[in-house]
């Protein structure tokens, strides 16, 4: 059974993770899952939001957006519309929760890291690419802060790694890492966020057409866990090279 | 192992479904999951949004909101703030998708049903109560439209039933239908939407503290499916009585 | 001369005042004027708005809103529209002024009470029901604060009672407490807010069709004062029972 | 008993009504009640809002605003704040209702008149000056449209005249047409809108400090009716001169 | 070659500068360039925006707006639309920059001056009239603050004078101070802001139809510099009279 | 006299123009002026805004935005703030006007082209890079539409070419194409938009510190015209290669 783009059902698209994309940000990654390209920057600033002041704990949050022509048809800018849509809100919250799952707030100290995930080109799986790329940008920002002694040495703020992938049932077949054309045809669509040790941070499955059965859910989870393992390896490989600043 | 309110881990809170709450709406239900009370109204109007005109198909959508003092501490009104928050957006979208999963748009014809879910009092599980109650309000609105011949007879727009429940791991124990106090302490929190025949419409699991393992996920899904079965029975019982208009 | 619902011109609709409706709020009342049902909650918090800090004086304010399907035809949510309409603003301000008329700010101390009046079902007279119900919720919140010693004992913050009723000229006949169907047909529509001792807090009369003469104004004021006297008695009766918290 | 500015309690401030102030508007008036100066323009366009199309009836509406430094302390612009405040909404609605009271929609035909009342300098009574000036601007716009045959001849769209004045109880004394300094000190504040034949269009009385008794209300109404009679005469005098366009 | 209104190409319209227009503002000017009338008020308050606190330096900013019927066709209010348009933003920023060019922040001390420029009637050149009038209002506000000893004596906060004029090429002829009808027909439109000593603060030239050549640009600049010199003289003349407060 | 980055005063930064950056847009260019990188996409759709329907003429407009971390310090998203700032508005309008200067609306037919200029990394001159890159994206979109026969053949919608560059006086020396560090120190800052034949489309000069004299203005214009000539050559070179789609 071959897919639109020639992949097997359990195959990821070509993944690239380009670190140090921006000269300004403390961490910055241009991540590609096939034709999906997301620029992830991590901005670290001293201080925390008001409700957290004096706690000795840091904060991590995320904002996701699409360039208007990232998609096949131009979408109106949310800045022009004057309000952020539900989908944007939902994905921003998902990215934030996913990365907070591997942060030790105490070790981070009263610093805030904002992850900005801007989709430059979309072809399905933008939120999972954003999470996968953001982890690497986050790691670089944390590394930078440790180097600059902005974070107390001796305790690593990152407690693990995190990556994400989409899975879905297309034409009755469970598949990994859907491109846009597959996504549109999927009966069930699931986004899974895993830590590097194979546990779950988020599982979000939606029946697009037909409700799905327990065994289908299981097949999708198997695919997703395998995919996240591969992505974790790609993240590790990217982080092993030396980043010049 | 007994819970805060004396329930066993696999026990729902007392569920009440009061139909015909409002004299104006085509369907209206005051649903209670313990102290969580949600007013669900279904408003049916002829016509569909512009992008669907001429398709012969209907549309179902939902809006969720909380009264400012539904919670222990008063929250600012979103109307006063001038924007809807991410959580509200997310839940409104979830409710809409859940109910659309049991709608045959062709059978509905070019009619729109809006489900308004207003939380009058909150004690955990407001979104799952809203879905469970909305299904009954939706069924009443559809019944009303069939009676009035606004929907062509001979083909039932409802293709099944849908209900929802929250599950979570609290103090290491998987539990069904968390109240607010349990929800705050949960390590993992999941909302599951099932059809009456035990298949999944939505599965949304989030690691609040620790990432969760596959076996924990499985235990939570078992609890949720059993809970939804009970809720489906409560919906059926409520719909069996005659509603005076 | 009998009315749409069989009342005499000078007769109120059945009035019910249900205290302690919400488990969270310091004061909460579900008030009904016939089919008009308004949930009034009083939220008391320590502290006052910035412009009043250090004055030793408290503050009372109100927000009014309608659930989207409180009316016969569904109205769009103001939170979704992103702005509050003129009618909502106007009524919120009226309720706030009305209740501030019976508050001794010094005795209240630097505490703020917000009255939220959410119309669950509308059938005319929602603002007058809201004022009448809010007074009882306010009294309960003040009582609660006195019990908790959040307000200095020895001086009662409530300097009187306040209630409100609508009056109007329908088909040439002055009538008390108009239901929606009467309100639509009224030539003149007036809302009157009185203290328990029969003085005026607000008089708002509007010629809907024909301008009105002085004698018509006088007849309406007579009806309104009598109506408010009855409502004050209903408030007193409701407050005489013991409220379990 | 002499007032701050030397007037007797029943005396208006100097009233000026300058027609034809703007070269663009169909009607335009710079009205002054003492130091209160309001620019009222009437813009007449063919067509009516969507909900009125095909009815054969016209529409009249109003918008009120203050220049930021119309008052003693600069206020933020509502355009900059991004939302219109409750007071602005309330006054705009009052002006619109007041002028619609003397309009025969059928005679106006499907035309819309918008009255813009911009307060250039404020010293109390801005809304009553706005109503009084707007009537004259409205009359000029109607006259212009009759001249241009945009309105069918033979039936006058204006069914009467309308003017407005504020009254209040200051230091125990009922007074007419309060200036700002008096307004701030008033116990009771009332705005009254009358037709030229002495009937009421709006009566809005508010107890600022103490609730007010029936006899006080009566005294204020007497003053207001007399004041509106004088204002109607000033309007008539202004309209008797020939307006060059 | 004579213009629409009989002027020669290098002639300004009649300019009037009426100081002390408002009784509330620290400086206020009604400036007219022909039929263009702009009310400019300068509001001086102690203190500066947060980002400037403790610097010992003051701040000057400006806001420009048009009354809805300042123009031939009524425009919607930006307050009602809930957002400020690009043109308004652009002009407000231009006015602010222009006046800051002649301010010595140190000499001003930690005071803020807001210039509000409200166009009462528009006939081309509203932004240049606003700058020219605002300078005089600013000078009056500074004079007032020096009198009141709110600004330390000995050092004049105004380092020069500033005025502005529009120029354009209409029907091939470079012209000064375009009225609306000329502006609409202009191929090139330029706004020039000069100091009293003939140097440039802003030069903003736009090709409305055809791109313009260097010699055209030079001709326009010559006209503009001459026009600003005349305007500076008019400002000086206005400021030489004694202002009663 | 050597600059911060070693350039001579009349030297541009390294310019790159990468066509076909996006797989979705009808035209797309990643333009770099040194470290300033702007993604310019041209989206062509059939139809024009309502006010232009039936005219037979097309429309071109532009939207400019910065990614939050395009700059050294993270800026808040305008979508999150709910409104577009003055600077964004101003630049979007400038880009739109600049490109409309080389469009023959009749030849374009009733088609709309939206240019989206998103700054991925900022180092001064973002608006001039955006205009220069947008021209190339626009040319590609027009070429695409001619290929697809969406535009009538025989008449080229592009009437010329357009490019832009910043100039300024830094430390008394007129310089071309300022980087951010120079821009901050500039006394005078000017943006100049030229057609390929050396005429002006826009000239926007601002005195940041001292007003500038006529000879300084002339020196800056000389530099700018020379810079635009070089940029026009770079555009031509980029467009000469074959673009694979």
| pTM reported for the whole predicted model | 0.93
First to last CA, chain C: 45
Kindly report the average pLDDT of chain C as a whole number: 96
For the stretch D83-95, pLDDT in tens is: 999 999 999 999 9
Tell me which residue of B21, B28, B124 sits closest to B70, measured CA to CA. B124
For the stretch F189-230, pLDDT in tens is: 999 999 999 999 999 999 988 899 999 999 999 999 999 999
Residue of chain E with shortest Cα separation from F203: E205
**C204 vs D contacts (CB less than 8 Å):** 203-205
Instruction: Please report the pLDDT score of residue F1 as a whole number.
Output: 60
Contact E27, E139 (CB under 8 A): yes
For the stretch C123-164, pLDDT in tens is: 999 999 999 999 999 999 999 999 999 998 888 999 999 999
Contact D164, D127 (CB under 8 A): yes
Instruction: Please report the pLDDT score of residue C1 as a whole number.
Output: 60
CB pairs under 8 A between C and D: 89
Question: Which of D103, D190, D200 should be substituted to probe chain C, the one whose Cβ sees the most C Cβ atoms within 10 Å?
Answer: D200
Contact F44, F35 (CB under 8 A): no
Residues with Cβ within 8 Å of A224's Cβ and at least 6 positions away in sequence, in order, are: A165, A167, A176, A190, A192, A194
Instruction: Please report the pLDDT score of residue D209 as a whole number.
Output: 82
Tell me which residue of C81, C115, C82 sits closest to C99, measured CA to CA. C115
Q: How far F87 CA lies from chain A's nearest CA (Å)?
A: 13
Average confidence (pLDDT) over B122-151: 97
Average confidence (pLDDT) over B110-133: 98
Q: Provide the pairing of β-strand E27-33 with E36-46.
A: antiparallel
Residue of chain E with shortest Cα separation from F210: E101
Chain D residues interacting with chain C (CB cutoff of 8 angstroms)? 83-87, 89-90, 92-93, 97, 101, 160, 190, 194-195, 197, 199-207, 210-214, 217, 221, 225
**E203 vs F contacts (CB less than 8 Å):** 190, 203-205, 217
Mean pLDDT lowest among B38-42, C207-211, D27-31, E203-207? C207-211
Instruction: Please report the pLDDT score of residue B11 as a whole number.
Output: 97
Kindly report the average pLDDT of chain F as a whole number: 96
For the stretch D132-172, pLDDT in tens is: 999 999 999 999 999 999 998 888 999 999 999 999 999 99
Distance CA C163, CA C45 (A): 24
What sign results for the dihedral spanned by CA atoms E226, E232, E235, E237? Answer: negative
Distance CA E238, CA E241 (A): 6
Mean pLDDT lowest among E62-66, E149-153, E241-245? E241-245
For the stretch D38-82, pLDDT in tens is: 999 999 999 999 999 999 999 999 999 999 999 999 999 999 999
Distance CA C184, CA C208 (A): 9
Residue D125 counted as an annotated binding residue: yes
Q: Give D111-136 as a 3 state SS string.
A: EEEEEEEEEEECCCCHHHHHHHHHHH
Q: Provide the pairing of β-strand B111-121 with B36-46.
A: antiparallel
**Helix H segments across chain F?**
78-81, 86-100, 105-108, 126-147, 180-185, 214-240
Q: Please report which confidence band the pLDDT of residue B1 belongs to, taking 50, 70 and 90 as the band edges.
A: low
Question: Which of D103, D106, D169, D211 should be substituted to probe chain C, the one whose Cβ sees the most C Cβ atoms within 10 Å?
Answer: D211
Residue B225 has pLDDT above 70, yes or no: yes
**B225 vs A contacts (CB less than 8 Å):** 214
Average confidence (pLDDT) over E185-210: 94
Tell me which residue of F189, F138, F143, F183 sits closest to F161, measured CA to CA. F138
Instruction: Please report the pLDDT score of residue C153 as a whole number.
Output: 86
Distance CA F196, CA E69 (A): 42
Distance CA B152, CA B104 (A): 13
Q: Give chain C as a 3 state SS string.
A: CCCCCCCCCCCCCCEEEEECCCCCCCEEEEEEECCEEEEEEEEEEECCCHHHCCCCCCEEEEEEEECCCCCCCCCCCHHHHCCCCHHHHHHHHHHHHHHHCCECHHHHCCEEEEEEEEEEECCCCHHHHHHHHHHHHHHHHHHHHHHCCCCCCCCCCECCCEEEEEEEEECCEEEECCCHHHHHHCCEEEEEEEECCCCEEEEEEEECCCCECHHHHHHHHHHHHHHHHHHHHHHHHHHHCCCCC
Q: Please report which confidence band the pLDDT of residue E208 belongs to, taking 50, 70 and 90 as the band edges.
A: confident
Residue E245 has pLDDT above 90, yes or no: no
Contact C136, C42 (CB under 8 A): no
| Residue E2 burial (CB count, 10 A) | 8
Instruction: Please report the pLDDT score of residue C2 as a whole number.
Output: 79
Q: Which chains form contacts with chain E, at 3 or more CB pairs under 8 Å?
A: D, F
**For each of chain F's 245 residues, which pLDDT tens digit applies?**
679 999 999 999 999 999 999 999 999 999 999 999 999 999 999 999 999 999 999 999 999 999 999 999 999 999 999 999 999 999 999 999 999 999 999 999 999 999 999 999 999 999 999 999 999 999 999 999 999 999 988 889 999 999 999 999 999 999 999 999 999 999 999 999 999 999 999 999 999 888 999 999 999 999 999 999 999 999 999 999 988 77
Chain B residues interacting with chain A (CB cutoff of 8 angstroms)? 83-87, 89-90, 92-93, 97, 101, 160, 190, 194-195, 197, 199-207, 210-214, 217, 221, 225
Q: How far B232 CA lies from chain A's nearest CA (Å)?
A: 16
Distance CA E105, CA E56 (A): 8
For the stretch B154-185, pLDDT in tens is: 889 999 999 999 999 999 999 999 999 999 99
Residue A85 has pLDDT above 80, yes or no: yes
**A83 vs F contacts (CB less than 8 Å):** 79, 82
For the stretch E142-186, pLDDT in tens is: 999 999 999 988 889 999 999 999 999 999 999 999 999 999 999
Q: Which chains form contacts with chain D, at 3 or more CB pairs under 8 Å?
A: C, E
Average confidence (pLDDT) over A13-30: 97
What is the DSSP code (8-state) at residue D3?
Answer: -
Q: Please report which confidence band the pLDDT of residue A1 belongs to, taking 50, 70 and 90 as the band edges.
A: low
Residues with Cβ within 8 Å of F116's Cβ and at least 6 positions away in sequence, in order, are: A67, A68, A69, A74, F39, F40, F41, F43, F62, F63, F65
Q: How far E41 CA lies from chain D's nearest CA (Å)?
A: 7
Q: Provide the pairing of β-strand D111-121 with D36-46.
A: antiparallel
Tell me which residue of A11, A217, A228, A190 sits closest to A102, measured CA to CA. A228
């Amino acid at each position: 059974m071959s897919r639109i783009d020639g992949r097997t059902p359990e195959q990821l698209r070509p993944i690239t993770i380009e670190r140090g994309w921006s000269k300004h940000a403390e961490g910055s990654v241009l991540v590609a899952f096939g034709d999906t390209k997301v620029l992830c920057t991590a901005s670290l600033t001293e201080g925390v939001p008001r409700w957290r002041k004096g706690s000795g704990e840091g904060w991590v949050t995320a904002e996701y957006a699409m360039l208007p022509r990232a998609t096949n048809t131009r979408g109106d800018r949310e800045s022009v519309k004057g309000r952020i849509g539900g989908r944007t809100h939902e994905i921003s919250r998902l990215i934030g929760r996913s990365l907070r799952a591997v942060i030790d707030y105490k070790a981070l100290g009263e610093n805030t890291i904002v992850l900005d995930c801007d989709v430059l080109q979309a072809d399905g799986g933008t939120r999972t690419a954003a999470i996968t790329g953001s982890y690497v940008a986050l790691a670089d920002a944390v590394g930078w802060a440790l180097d600059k002694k902005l974070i107390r040495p001796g305790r690593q703020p990152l407690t693990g790694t995190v990556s994400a992938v989409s899975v879905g049932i297309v034409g009755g077949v469970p598949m990994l890492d859907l491109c846009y054309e597959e996504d549109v045809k999927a009966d069930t669509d699931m986004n899974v966020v895993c830590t590097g040790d194979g546990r779950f941070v988020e599982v979000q499955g939606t029946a697009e057409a037909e409700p799905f059965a327990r065994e289908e859910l299981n097949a999708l989870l198997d695919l997703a866990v395998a995919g996240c393992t591969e992505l974790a390896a790609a993240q590790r490989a990217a982080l092993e090279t030396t980043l010049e600043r």
